[in-house]
Structure 1
Amino acid sequence: MIERSADRLNVSGAMVMDNARVLLGEGCAQMTKGDVVFDLSAVAEADSSAVAVMLGWLRHAVRIGAKVSFSGVPAGVLSLAELYGITALLPQA
């Protein structure tokens, strides 16, 4: 689930394969031009699809002229990004 709070999009619950498409769509739908921070500090569970969703949000941001960054990224997701060699692609807020 994603809730807007000023310039933040607060993601909560799970970021797993079962809901990856929904999260991608929901995040893109709530994104606006300008700076957007996805706050993942309330994510309770995440798998490798979380990285794919984050990359999808970044691609959408480029299309609409937004600048996305992430805060509160779960350690497991950061470890996966490091393993994949894409840590630099996921800007931290």
Structure 2
Amino acid sequence: MLVLPAELTHAQATACCRMLAQALRSEPGREAVADASALRDFDSSALAVLLECRREALALGKQFAVSHMHPRLRALATLYGVAELLPETAATPVAG
């Protein structure tokens, strides 16, 4: 699983892309899932990072999905017309 940081704005985008691409290349399996549950402070750069992860995953022959996408990020993806490129995984219910 690829884990997004709590803050992902233009200032962190390049470093985050590098980190996630490295993790993606070392992760076994045919599916790559980006966990966005920690993401709280972000701008449209977060979409660029996710789209780059998707591109990298597809180049490696992997499927790509996002888990726990913040509703505001989903709204941005819809606004920019890229929501269908960032499918969400089924959320796992949290106990308690």
TM bracket, shorter-chain basis: 0.7 to 0.9
1:9-24 alignment runs, 5 A limit: 9-24=2-17
TM-score under structure 1 length normalisation = 0.85
- The structure with the largest alpha-carbon Rg is 2
Q: Which residue in 1 is equivalent to 2:93?
A: none
Q: Secondary structure at the match of 2:5?
A: strand
Specify every segment of 5 or more residues in structure 2 that has no aligned partner in the other structure, as ranges: 90-96
Are 1:30 and 2:23 matched, yes or no? Answer: yes
Percent identity reads 29
**Runs of at least 4 residues of structure 1 off by over 4 A?**
none
Residue in structure 2 matching 1:61, options 53, 57, 60: 57
Aligned residues: 86
Specify every segment of 5 or more residues in structure 1 that has no aligned partner in the other structure, as ranges: 1-7
Root-mean-square deviation over aligned CA pairs: 1.2
Higher strand share: 1
Q: Secondary structure at the match of 1:41?
A: coil
